[in-house]
Structure 1
Amino acid sequence: MTERRGSGSWKRHLFWRFLFLLLWNKAEAQTRYSVPEELNVGSVVGNIAKDLGLKISELYDRKLRIASESGKQYFSVDLGKGEMVVHERIDRERLCGQNANCLLPVQVIIEDPLQLHRIEVEIQDINDNYPHFLSADRSLKIAESTVPGMRFPLESAQDPDVGSNSLKSYTLSKDECFSLKVKDLGDGRKIPELVLEKALDREKKAVHQLLLTALDGGNPVRSGTTQINITVLDNNDNNPTFDKTVYKVNIPENSIKGTTVVKVVATDLDEGPNGEVEYSFGEHTAEAVRSLFYIDSKTGDFILNGELDYETTSTYNIEVSAKDKGMPEMEGHCTVQIDVLDVNDNSPQIVLTSKPSPVREDAPSGTVVALISARDVDSGANGKVTLQTQPNVPFILKPTFSNDYSLVTNGVLDREIFPEYKVEVTAFDSGSPSLSSKKTIPVQILDVNDNPPHFTDRAYKVYVKENNNPGSIICSVSASDLDVGENAKLSYSIIDSKAQDVPLSSYVYINSDNGSIYTMHSFDYEKMKVFQIQVQVKDHGSPSQSSNATVHVFILDQNDNAPAVIYPSAVMGSASHQRMPRSAKAGHLVTKVTAVDADSGHNAWISYRLAEAADASLFSVNLHTGEVRTKRSVSEQDDSSQRLLIEIKDNGEPVQSTTVTVDVLIEDGFHEPVSDYRKKSAEVSKKSGKITLYLIISLASVSLLCLMTFFILLVKCARGSRGSSSCCIRRSESGYKNPNRNLQIQLNTDGPIKYVEVLGGDMMSQSQSFGSYLSPMSEFSDFTLVKPSSTTDFTDTLNVLDASLPDSTWKFESQQVSREVQFKFFFVTFALWRAHAACALKSKLQNFYIPWLKNPNQGLPSATCPRIWAWTFGAWFTGSCALFRNLTPNIST
């Protein structure tokens, strides 16, 4: 029975060993999870069912379980969800100590069929530990004879956390005799040292109490403190002194336990117990170092007491203290630096010997940018390094010495395209397999003034109202420069030019900093309507770059001019005197008031209104033409003297207006004064009769000539109408044609004012109407042109009027001029010349004949009569011939 049991047990043992080997053969690829330490029990680590490709139902059926290699069951499986969860609190510091990488291996065993999966769980550090000192307080004894500047190493705080959560800095409470210096050992450890700043005086202060605080780099920051009690002593003023401040030694990482690493030696000049020295680790030495190395307190031998690992720590900087036995106790310090030798498992390092210098964009090829050296902590071929840069950058590496290179330019640079280059340098060692590393070197490109400034627009249009306030801003021009710094700092100025022969600088000025243009004085639209400003912008580079822009300034009209009266003329006095017969009927033209406005557009539209009248029921004023007509027939009861006050307003805002006074004299027998003059002239002298006869003959001759011209034209047109549908007058050479000139010529001979109006048809606006006024009261002009009420210049008015009168450049087509219109045109032309002759005759009588009758003694010049006759006849003959020649080019002159 017993043997059977033993035999069965042996067989079962062989069976489990076979399954274990089979399980290892079927192990699949590793799975890694990463979790922070101190997770609560039950926290999910990962979905193990999904990651292993299993269904949740298979977990229970195939008896999945977790086995830990560490001996503790930190994880378990939730078979209902297929998740691996935390089974026991995890303390990273207890598991991995100061190792940055903490991996916890976990085995997942599936029994049916048997499978093994290996899972690694990375435990991440959290800032769950405070920096702490080994002792809550420390006592120091310092002789009062200690020289200022002496340093006393203090206990280094310990923080089990790693990385950014580890110990970062120290602070010391304020004391006038002491300060704190932190010594960086180069391996990430920071050693606090107490520095004596001022000589001690035991009689003044025998004990100094300081608080040393250690801070870590976590968030939130954690800290720990220790109390330092310093007792000031009087004796033993010589410290033990080491023969070397730093002992450096190299030791392979495979050195065996018990190997003597180095021997430190310290001497004390004092005698007796004050000169006896004992060696020990500095109080700030970490526990890990104390467990790895041992120092003989008598001999100073440094002995390896553990196993070295280069990947964990490559260099050890250990503080060694030598204390004597005097009273007070004195001590000296040295550092033992132990470098662990390694194999080729380190990548090369790239070191910038000098910071990269900024390079001008016009720098020539070969300009040195930076000095670079390559390092590899390995030795021999494993430490031989080669550098190279990435392609497609205008930089290359040029070797200078062993493992030293200079980064130089190798192409054209343009800061506006690439203001900064990121040059990637790659280092390769010669080990097998080769290892490499990369470093990015930023190279800044300095600007050169190689770009001129550019305006936002090459031309600006600005509209300014006239009568603006001086100093007001017109506009702002803006320019930009692709360069930077002083090369992009811009100044604006106005290129000196003239507007209406006046320097432009007297009109405007510009702010050189922001390009704002301001007026120097108020503008007047009637004097200047538009001008141009040439603005120049320059940068502050050397040499300077510039560009120009044009600002077109348009002055906008404001209603700042009141209408000006042209007729009646101001030379006649404050009031115009007009006569009319008492027999005048309703609609009789008394006079016509004409005014113009220097403004333009709507501001120049003029309207007339009868403001005041002695009898408002007798007269009316046309709103647009200014004609003064009778509203009814003049009766015997009407006063013979009527005064009219006519208001003339424009259409602007605000409205500008002016007034004119017209005195109307109502007379019986309006033409009798002329006959009285003739009777008196006949009675005075026979010569007056001759003069009158000469004038009548000349007038009759001219009138006869005009009638003959009119008759010939009628015959010509009548004959021409038989062969064609039009009476056409063509110009043989010119092809000029203007179908839009539909003219309306109106003759009015009512009253003492004789005038002819030439009006545009449907294709012409009111601004294209012109009037000829022939006043018997005028002694200065027999023919007056009235400026049209528009913005058209007076010269343009004359051109339009000249184009409206018949001349050799006109041809009338049958589509525009009918026979009736031709007859009306000829009749109006004849009436115009006839009215002109009457006015000329009356003017000459007033200027020559009537004055002579009043004073016969002064006599008339012998040439007066022939001159009067010759002037009248010559004028009418020339005008008639010109009219005849222009209208009938096919008839021989």
Structure 2
Amino acid sequence: MGERWCAAVRVLVLQAAWALAGGQVRYSVPEEAKAGTVVGRLAQDLGLEAGEAEARRLRLVAQGRRASVEVSGASGALVVSSRLDREELCAKSAPCALRLEVLVERPLRVFHVELEVTDINDNAPIFPAARKNLSIAESSVPGSRFPLEGASDADIGANAQLSYTLSPSEHFSLDLQRSEEYRESLFLVLTKSLDRETIPVHRLVLTASDGGRPSLTGTMELVISVLDANDNAPKFNQSVYKVQLRENATEGTLVARVNATDPDLGSNSDVVYTLSNTFPEEGVNIFHLNAKTGEIHLGGTVDYEDIRSYEIQIEATDKGTPPLSGHCKVVLEVVDVNDNAPEVRVTSLSVPVSEDASVGTVVALLSVSDRDSGANGRVRCWVWPASPFGLEATFAGSYSLVLREALDRERVSEYEVEVRAEDGGAPALRASRGLRVPVSDVNDNAPAFSQAVYTVLARENNAAGAELARLWARDPDEAGNGRVSYSVWEGGAAAVSSSSSSGVGAGGWRPASSYVSVDAESGRVWALQPLDYEELQVLQFEVRAVDAGEPPLYGNATVQLFVLDENDNAPALLPAAGSAPEAGGAAGEAAAAAAAGLGSVSDTLWAWAAWGAPAGQVVAKIRAVDADSGYNAWLRYELWEPRAKGPFRVGLYSGEVSTARALDEADGPRHRLLIVVRDHGEPARSATATLSVSLVEAAEAALAAGSSSSSSSRAALGAEMGPGAASAATNVWLVVAICAVSSLFLLAVVLYGASRWAPRAAVLSGPGPTTLVCASEVGSWSYSQRHSRSLCVADGAAKSDLMVFSPNFPPPPPGPAPKDTQPEPSALLDTVSGPSFVFFSGPSHPPSELLLLEAGLIFHRLGTLGV
């Protein structure tokens, strides 16, 4: 309640103050003020406190036209809302005041605000027209006055006070007269006499400036035409006309236009043109002159290369009385155009060019010319393609075609060279001249084979003269330089096996030319003789290709000829291990022949077996070799006879003859076995061995096995002493053997007892190397004369340990390192070099047999020591 009372008191105080002030507020603002410009603090001037202007909704009452000011609601200030233009609001009236009504609510009151818009100099003076034409006679006297209309300015006061100026002129000036009663008057005053022939038209600029700061101006152009009198003769504007005409201009082209003027008027100023003379005279027929216009047209053709310039005399005559005339000269220069292409001529050509020609060699001389002049006649030359030739300028218009790079006839044998010329015209004209430059050959390329090493496969036993391979060497040279001949290089050689089946007694080296030959023209490699794999496996030789150049060049290629094995050798039998002569008869002769190294042994082999021998005991071993290799040398053994089940069997791959069951007296004293040895070749080859097995007592069998180890040496000795001496020596040794067995029997018993408490050596040393072999039933090896292959095939139950002792027996023929050709896995790999003696140890043998075997071995040991 107290607050409302305070507010009412403030309103009453405000109303009293407003009444005392007369109830009106005055503001002033310049025209063209920007929107947002604050005119005055209306709310404060009306006595309103801060915030009351917005609370009491202080605002302007809308007028009939758009208001240019408004009240800011927050501050209560009077601000400009749109453009204020004094000239639009009040025109020329002064002062320019706007009356506004301001409304305040709560309580409602209306206030009057007067806003004066002040003038600024924003309008420039304006003339009635931008241009005014005046005509003044040439005979007018100085001092003559000509009225002009002044400019107007929309502003008021000093901004509308105008002053006038005239552009500098020696003939005219301005006169301005001011009066308080009348409007000011402006005059143009003639200060100097006019001459139409000198200045027919005067162009002046009248400028009006107002009194504002800064001052604004307006202009009007005064065009004053001077009226003339006829007192002058025709006259050309140039005494000499210099024109240029392109030589390719077409007929009818405008060459030039001459102009003669006569400052007189009327007929006295009419001019007629005539062609009086030309140099050279040909120009009379080439150029045509128009008598009225003074235009010269081309009536023919011009050629810069024939006539480069013309001079034409022209006369201009008016139609006055008497007629007056003037003269001029037209100098016409023919302009060269690029209408002539360059010309290329070959003055000398030296071909063919040797491919070893040095860089800088001159191949051809050329001359180049162009009838045009200047840049059109300036010729640029080059060679296309750019290499290997180039151009060198010798003197003006002359060039040399020289070699810039080394030539190679094998790469490019002939060049199509194009010498191109281009002038400097626009557009440029071109010419070219083609040259054919062949390259002569020199012998600079050696024959080259397509491969450095040729691998050739050939089967043995080929026919003599068979083609083995075909070699080809390329020589890119031509004629004789590229004609290649082939030969076997004499430096090549082949290793020959010492055990050749062709009869070569000892190994060595033989020249490759003894095996192959090369056709000199075709490069075909021929076989001179059948090849034997057993003699030669690899033949490596060089083939040389030589061209027919001077000097000749050559190239080599290595040929590796691999001989492929064929199954051309049947298995060959060797003496069986454990065989011995029976009663010193034919068997003894067979053993002696084997020991003497005479090659094949008798078809009948001998072996002994003890009565009661258990199944699986090895009786003999059939040994065979095959000179082939691989599968062709892989042997297998088959028992051919007897066909029925007998007491013996043969290991399929070992060749061991063993008991198939225990032997008894019902088997008979002697058995004849027919064993076939086959290889795995296609077709397979075979050999047949006859084995005679005698059944004896166990002691006799052991004695026979022991005595057989020294039979070879005794047989050789007997061969030297003769048949009688050999028989006597044999009897002596038999007696000695019986005595030795008897005397050493006790020692054998002692050794047997010692073996119960001390380990016994399982191997007895002999004169040859000791080899441990497979202990299976049929485990053994097959032999190849060239390559020994080891096989151990377990096709039965395991037996006791088997120790093999090799005596002094001639080793097999030497050969290269063995190659694995057997498909079966080997349990033990080795090579047996001769017949072996066997010694069995294990629980399967009774003590009596052990004693007999040991006694026999001791006897064999004493025999080898010469006892």
Q: Does the alignment reach a TM-score above 0.5? A: no
Q: Shorter-chain-normalised TM-score: which range?
A: 0.3 to 0.5
* Bigger radius of gyration: 2
- Greater fraction helix: 1
TM-score by length of 1: 0.41
Instruction: Name the TM-score, length of structure 2 as normaliser.
Output: 0.42
